[in-house]
Structure 1
Amino acid sequence: MKNNQLSFLFFFILAVFLFPSSAYSQKSKDSIHRLYQAIVSPNSTSNIPQGINFYTLKKDVDLKRKDTLAAVMDLRLIAMGQFKIGNIYDSENAVVEALSLIESYPQKDTVIEGRKALYNQLGQIYRESNNYDKALETYNLSLEYSRSLSDSITIINNKANVYKDLGNYEKAAENLALAYKKIEVSADSLKLAMVLDNLGIVQSKLGNPNALSNLNRALQIRESKNDLSKTYSSYKNLALYFFDINNEKQAQLFANKAYQAATKLNSITYLQDALSLFVSMNADPKIVQFKKITDSIAKAKQLAENKNAFIKYNVENERKNTMAAQLLQEKEKGQKVLYMILGIFTLIMAIFIILLLRTKHKKEKIRQVYNTEARISKKVHDEVANDLYHVMVKIQGNTSANDEVLDDIENIYNKTRDISKENSAVELSEDFTEQLSDLLLSYKNQQTTVITQNISKMNWKAVSDIKKITVYRILKELMTNMSKHSQASLVALSFSQTNSKINITYSDNGVGCQIKNKNGLLNAENRIQTLNGTIIFESKPNEGFKAKITL
C-alpha cells in the first residue's frame, strides 16, 4: 500500500502539469484518483479498462513531452491493469516497453524503484502463465533492485508462492521462513499476516502442527485492520485447511464467511472464487469430476491463450529484430558515407593546407627577394656610390687628372645611384596612391608626357603588401625601360580593380621593340609569375609598346 500511495503522489504531481488550470478543481482531482484506484484497488474488473485507456493516452502525452519517468509510471499501471483483467500478453508488453525506456534513460540509478516493481510484475505474469522458471528468474531480478525491507518481504513471499504452485513445499517453507525472519524487525503487521497465512498453508501440506496457529494469527491481524480482501483470503485458506483434515463443519463455516466477505466486496471475481470453493469441497463424485474437468478446460484455455500470446509476442519481436537489423545496415551505410565524406574533406583540407603552405612559402621567398634587393641597394649606396664620390672629389682636386676619366667615374656613380634607387625599399606606411603617382610622374619631363587614369579610384587597402610592392617594382621597371630605350613622347597608364584582381594597362608611342628580345623586362615577368599573375607584351618596331598586367 505504501508503494501505491507514493505512486499516486508521483502521478498527481505530474497531472498538475498535464491538465489546464481547471484540473485544480476537486472534481478533476476526484476523477484522477478514481482512475488510479480503478487499477490499483478496483471494486470491479469492469472499471479497469477505463483506467487503462486513461494511462495509455497519458503515456503518449508523456513520451511526446520526453518525460521518461512519468511514461514508465504510466506503463507500470497499464501492466497492472491488463494483468488484472487477464490480458497476459498486453501486460507483459507494457512491462517490456517500460524496461526499454529505463534502459535508454541516462540516469538509471534514479529508476531503481521502477525496475524492482516491473520485474515483480513480470514475475506475476509468468506465474499466471505457468512459466514458473521465468517467474523465479524475474523475481530474483526484482529482489536485486529491492532497497526496502518491506519490498524484499513481498518478493520473497511471491517466490514462495511459485514453489507452492510447483508442489515444492519445502522450498516454499524455506523462503517463507526467511521472510518471517526479516519481518521480525518490521512494524508492518499486514506483511506479517501475509507471510503467516502463506506459511500456514505450506505447513499444512507438510503436516506441521503450527499450521493452524499461523493461519488464525494471520486472520486476527487482518480482521483488526479491517482489510476485507485479505480477510477473504484467510477465510478461504482456513476453509481449505479444515477440508484437508476432514473437518467438514469448520470448512463450511469459513467457506460461508469467505462468501459473505466476497458479497461485501461486491466483486464478481471474488464471488466466483468463493462459489468455486463450495464446489471444490463438495464430496459428490460427479461434482468433483465436474470441478476437475472445468479446471482442466480452464487451464488448457489459459495455456492456449498464453501460447498464442507468446507467438504474437515472438512475431512482434522478430519484426523488431528485422527492423533493428535494417536500421543497423542503414547505420553502417551511413557510417561508410560519413567516412567517405570525412576522407574527401580530409583530402580537400590537405590540398588546401599544401596550397596555403606553398603560397606562404612563395610569398616568403618574394619577401626575401625584396629584402635582399633593398639590402643590396643600401649597400651599393652606402659603400660603392660613396667610395666613387670620394674618388671623384680627390681627382677633381688633382689638376693633372684627365677630364675623360672624371666623366667615366661620374657615369659609374650615376649608374650606381640609379641601381640603388631602383631597388630601394618601398615605404608602405605612406599613402600608396600618392606614392605610386609620384613614381610615375617623376618620369615626366619636357620630352615625355605621363598620363594616369583611375589610379585614385583604386582601393589599395584591400591589396596585400607583397602585391603593392610588386606593382611598384614592375611599373618602375617599365618606366625606366621607357626612359632609356623607347624615346616615347606620351605614356598612358590605366588602372582598374575586379574583386581581388588588379588590372593595369601600360602603353607608349615609342620606337617599340621585338618582343623576343625582352631585355630588362624579364625581371617584371618573373615578379608577376611568382604571384600567379600575368603580363602580356605587345610591340613592334616603330609602333610603340604595350603591356597588360593582371595581378
Structure 2
Amino acid sequence: MYPVRQGNTCLTLFSNVPFLYLVFIIFGTKFPLLKLIFIIISSILLTMSSCRKGGTPLPASDYRNYDKAYAFLSTDQDSAFYYFNRVVTESPDSQQVALAYTTMAMLQTDAGDYFGCQESLTSSLKFLNARDAEGRNDLANNYNELGMSSTKLRNYTDAIDYYDQALSSNKDSTFIPTILNNQANAYRHKKEYGPALELYQKAIRSKSTTAKVYARILTNMATTKWLSDHTYPAAPELRQALAIRQREKDLWGQNSSYAHLADYYMNSRPDSALNYADRMYAIAQRLHSADDQLEALQKLIKLSPGQLTKAYFARYNQLNDSLQTVRNAAKNQFALIRYNTEKHKADKLRLQKENSEKNYQITKQWAVIFIILTMAIAGGIIFAQRSRRKQVETEAKAKQELQDYQLSTSKKIHDVVANGLYQVMAEIEHQPELDKEILATRIDILYKQSRAISYNHSLEFNYQDFDREITDMLTSFSNPQITIITAGNEASTWDAIGVSTFNEIKNILLELLINMKKHSHADRVVLRFQRDHVRLHIRYQDNGIGLPQPTKFGNGLNNTGNRIKTMNGSITFDSNNGAGLVITMSIPIA
C-alpha cells in the first residue's frame, strides 16, 4: 500500500482573504473606492472557494536502486554513488536512506573528499533511530567515521568528541576496542600521550579484541610510548605485532607495521629502516594503495643511496600528481551526480504539480486577471500620493550611487596609478641594472589597468604563482639600506586563496611597504605568513619610528583597514613605544 500525502489544493490566492480585510481596514475609510473593490473581490473569492481534496502517492520502498548500488560498489564507484544518491532522494525507508548516506560517505573518504564525507554522515544521522539496537550500532559506526574524517582534517578535538559519542551509542562489544584505538590515535596526534596510552591499555585488555585489532593496538601503543620517550625499546612489541599480522595474512596490517618500524629505526639503524620501507612499498603496491605508496616513497627518498633517490623522487611526483587528478575528478563527479539527481527530482515534482492543476488553470487564470485589474485600479488611486516620495528616493539613490562610484574610482586610481607607479619608481631606484623589457612590461600593465578604470572593467590579474608575485613585489623595495625578510611565503600558503582575495592582500602589503619607505625610516622589515585550514595570518614588523601618538591614519593605512574589513578579516597596530611598528592581520581563506 502506498503512503499518501493528504492536503488542501485550493487556489493559493484564497488564503489571502484575511490580507484583503487588513487592506480594507487601513485604506477603506480614506479611499471609498477601495470599499467597493474589496466587496467585489471578496464576493468572487467566496463564490470560487470550493477546495479540492487530493493526495500524491509516494513510491513504495523497494531495493532495486539499493541493490544496483551495491552491485557497482567494487567495480564502478561513480555508478554506485549515483544509485545510492537515488536511494536517499527517492526511498521512504529511513533505515535504507541512512545506510546509503553512510556508504556514500565512505566512497567520498576514498576519494579524499573529507568535507563531503562529513556532510553525508551528518545527513545519515538524521535518519537513524537511536531507540533500537540496530540503529544505535549504525549511529556508533557513523560517529566513528566522523571521528576518522575529522582526524584526516586534523580536527583532533572534534574527532575525540565524535569517538565519545560512538562509545555512548555502541551496543556491539567487538567494536569497542576499535573505537578506543581510534580515539587514542587522535590524542597521539595532539601529542597528549598520557590519555592516549590509557585508552590503548583499556582497548588491549578488552575480552572482545581480535588478533588483528590486538596487533593494531599493540603497534600504536608501542609507537606512542616511543614518541613520548625516545629511549623506550619499542622494537620487540612492533615485531610481535608484525608476526601476528603475518600469521593472520593481514596485508594492511603488515603495511602499517613496516611503516612504524621504518620510523623507529630511521635515526638509529638506517639500514634496517630502509629494509622496512622497501617492504612497505612492496605491500602498498600489492594493495594498490596510492597513499601508502607515497608514504613509503618518502621514507625511501630519505634512506636510499644517492643513485636511487632520483628514481624514487620521480616516481613520487608522478604518483602524487596522478592521485590528485583522480581524486579531484572523483570529487567533481560526485558533486555533479548530486546536482543532476536533485535537478531531476525538482523537475519531476514540478511536472506532477502542473499535471495535478491542469484542469483548474482556466478558472485560476481568470481569477488572477480580474484581481490584478482591480488591484491595479486601487494602485492607481494610491500611486499619485506615493509618486513624489519615490521620486525623492530615486534621486537620493542616484546621488548615493554616484558618490559610491566616485569613491570606488578614487580607490582604483590610488591602487593602480599611485601605488603601481611608486613600486616601479622603487625598482628603478634600487635596481639600476633593471631590464628594460621588464620595466616596459610593468609600465604596460599600469597603462592597461588605467584604461580599465576608464571603461569600468575588472582590474584583477590571474597570477599563476602567488608566492613569486609577492617575492617580486618585496624585492622591488629591498636595497642595501632596507632589508626585507620573509617567512612562510610558499606555494602551499596561497593554496585555495582566490585571485580577488590575493589582489587585496597584495595591495595591503604594497600600502604598508610604501608607508614604511615614506614615513617610518626603517631599515629592516620582517614579514611572516602563516595559515591554518580557515584563515591566513600575516605579521608585519619594522624597526622604524612607529606610529605617532595620538595616531592619525592617512589614506594609505585607512585603505588598509577598509580592505581588511571587506574581506571579513581583522587587523591590529602596535607602535611598540617608538621602537618600530608591528601589524598583525588575520584573513579568512574562503
For the superposition of Structure 1 and Structure 2, which TM-score range results when normalised by the shorter chain? 0.3 to 0.5
TM-score (norm: length of structure 1): 0.43
Larger radius of gyration: 1
TM-score (norm: length of structure 2): 0.41
Structure with the larger helix share: 1
